[in-house]
Every structure is written in structure tokens, then in C-alpha cells.
Copies of this chain bind each other. A is one copy, B any other.
């Protein structure tokens, strides 16, 4: 019986419907059923009378609802209050970014932001591609400048802040390295280096498509954990990787070459926020970053 189970129980007690409960909590009905069942084993009695058509609280269920709802609210609000106080009193804003060029904008924004909000400290940290949304979900940061697309139920993606043309990172010995530009169709001939970690399918398919626009399959290359490994893998001739053209300025090294795409759509970047709570400082920071990016287009 952890807080998550209690949340599931309380939600089901309100909705009296497994599928709706699941939807509200962004999980599957199966999970709701499993959680309720284990709580019933724990308590030692049924909490809901249910058929496939009706769900009703039992007496024990009502009793438990009365016992838990207040304490649950108190804990959730308490955590939120203390987090908010930590942000207020220290005036702390925690921001993550995914790539060095996104980081540049964040740091630059921070410089301006400080003059307007001297009461607010801004913590900046890099986010690993392998755990794109983890820090945001765990509430460890308030704002994240990230590649799009992002379509997550519990995350709000703000407007596009800036765009980046794309290039292909290839071994310098590879024939493609001689060309002025490459096409998405060229990917059919070279293995793509992939992240080893689990990412949403739409993110993977966007950045590392499985097929060219013409429909030809793109081979899969070795996997990496930290982005830095991609450079080594490419230099070793084990594969290629589509990147922002700007990566050439930050990640150039012997053995690799960056060849611009002639036909790949630009990468889009924007700010992600946890869906529930709009944070005044965070909004101000995002707006300021937007202005800055507009005033100095790449």
C-alpha cells in the first residue's frame, strides 16, 4: 500500500469505473484492477462490489475512503507546499536542457533573467537523452528546453523557441563525407546508431526513422548510453547519426564529418513543463528565452 495505490483507490472510489479511473491516472485498466486487488488482499476484505457493468463501494471501502482521503490530500499538498516554498524562499528555478546549443540559450537567458529577477536563483543541468522526461516527471526540474516532438499526457510542451537544420554525422572515411549534402534516402545504405534506453516510439521514429520517405528500410546500428559514445562509434565506422548541424561546432573531432541534409525537416526546440502546476518564474524564464531566440535568429 503505497501512495500510488491509495491514489488509485481514491480515484476509483470517486469514478466508480475502472476504465475512467485508468484514463484519469494515465495507466491501463489492468493496472487499476491489479492494484485494487492487492489492496483488498492486504485489508482482508472486498473494497468494491463489482460486476463488469457496475462498481460500488462496500462498507469497508467507504470506511477506507473516509480514513485515507484526508491524509492523502494532506500529504500531497504538504509536499507541494514545501517544494513551492523551497522555490519561493530560495527563489529557485531548476532548468534542464538536452544539447549544448540549447544549453547556450538557457545560460544566456539566465544572464538576462538575473537582472530582472535577482531574487531567483536558477539551477541549470543537462538532461540525458536516455532519460528524456525522468527529471521533469520526478519533479526535479521546473522547466526543460528539449527537442520536439513531445507528446506526453503529463507534460505540457510550449511554443517552438528555435529551429535547427539537420546534418548527418558520418565517418570521415565514408563516401558520403565527400558530398556537399545528403538526402534522407541516403540513410537506406547506412546503419543508424541508436540509444540503448527505452524511449517513446514516436520520438525514436522521428529522430531515427526506420524507413526513408520512399519507404526503403534503414538498417539499425549499435546502441549507446551516453551521447558522447555516438562520436566514437561513428569514428569507428560502425554507423551514422542524424544530428543538428550545430553539433559540428560542439562535437567535431578527427574521424567524423557533418554533412548537411538537403531534405530533412528542421529540428524544433521548446520548453516542457509538468502539466499540473504553472510556475510564474518558469513562465517568465521561458518567455524571456523566446524573446532572446527571436532577436538573434541562427
* Interface flags, A156-192, vs B, CB<8A=1, else 0: 0000000000000000000000000000000000000
Residues in B with CB closer than 8 Å to A43 are 79, 82-83, 86
Task: Find chain B residues with CB under 8 A from A92 CB.
Answer: 44-45
Query: What chain B residues lie within 8 Å of A44 (beta carbons)?
Result: 83, 86-87, 90, 92, 94, 139-140
Q: Which residues of B sit under 8 angstroms from A75, Cβ to Cβ?
A: 6, 67-68, 71-72, 75
The answer to whether the Cβ of A249 comes within 8 Å of any Cβ in the partner chain is no
* Chain A contact residues, CB within 8 Å of chain B: 1-4, 6, 38, 41-45, 60, 63-64, 67-68, 70-75, 77-79, 81-83, 85-87, 90, 92, 94, 138-140
Task: Kindly provide the distance from the CB of A41 to the nearest chain B CB, expressed in whole angstroms.
Answer: 5
CB contacts (< 8 Å) of A45 on chain B: these are 86, 90, 92
Is A79 touching B67 in the complex (CB atoms < 8 A)?
yes
How far, in angstroms, from A108 to B63 measured CA to CA in the complex?
Answer: 34
- Note all chain B residues with C-beta closer than 8 A to A64: 78-79, 82
Q: Please list the 10 inter-chain residue pairs (A to B) with the smallest Cβ-Cβ separation, ordered nearest first.
A: A67-B78, A71-B74, A45-B86, A71-B75, A2-B2, A71-B71, A44-B86, A64-B82, A41-B140, A42-B139
Instruction: Name the residue of chain B whose CB is nearest to the CB of A61.
Output: B82
A77 surroundings in chain B (CB, below 8 A): 67
Chain B neighbourhood of A85, CB < 8 A: 60, 63
Complex: A1 Cα to B138 Cα, angstroms? 9
B67, B73, B139, B140: the one contacting A81 at CB < 8 Å is: B67
Nearest to A80 among chain B residues (CB) is B67
CB distance from A1 to the nearest CB of B (A): 6
Residues of chain B within 8 A (CB-CB) of A6 are 3, 75
Closest to A62 in B: B82
CA distance A42 to B86 in the complex (A): 11
Closest chain B CB from A7 CB (angstroms):
10
Q: State in angstroms the CA–CA spacing of A138 and B2 once bound together.
A: 12
Q: In whole angstroms, what is the CA distance A103 to B71 when docked?
A: 40
Nearest chain B residue, comparing its CB with the CB of A42: B139
Q: In whole Å, how far is A127's beta carbon from the nearest beta carbon of chain B?
A: 13
* A–B Cβ pairs within 8 angstroms, 5 of them: A42-B139, A67-B82, A70-B74, A71-B72, A71-B74
Among A6, A64, A71, chain B packs the most CB atoms within 10 A around the CB of: A71
Provide the bound-state CA to CA distance between A60 and B84, in Å. 11
Task: Report how far A211 CA is from B45 CA in the complex, Å.
Answer: 46
Chain B: minimal CB distance from A138 (Å): 6
Do B78 and A60 touch (CB < 8 A)?
no
Residues on B with C-beta less than 8 A from A60 are 82, 85-86
**Complex alpha-carbon distance, A94 and B43, angstroms:** 11
| Chain B nearest Cβ from A182, distance in angstroms | 41
Question: B41–A138 contact, CB under 8 A?
Answer: yes
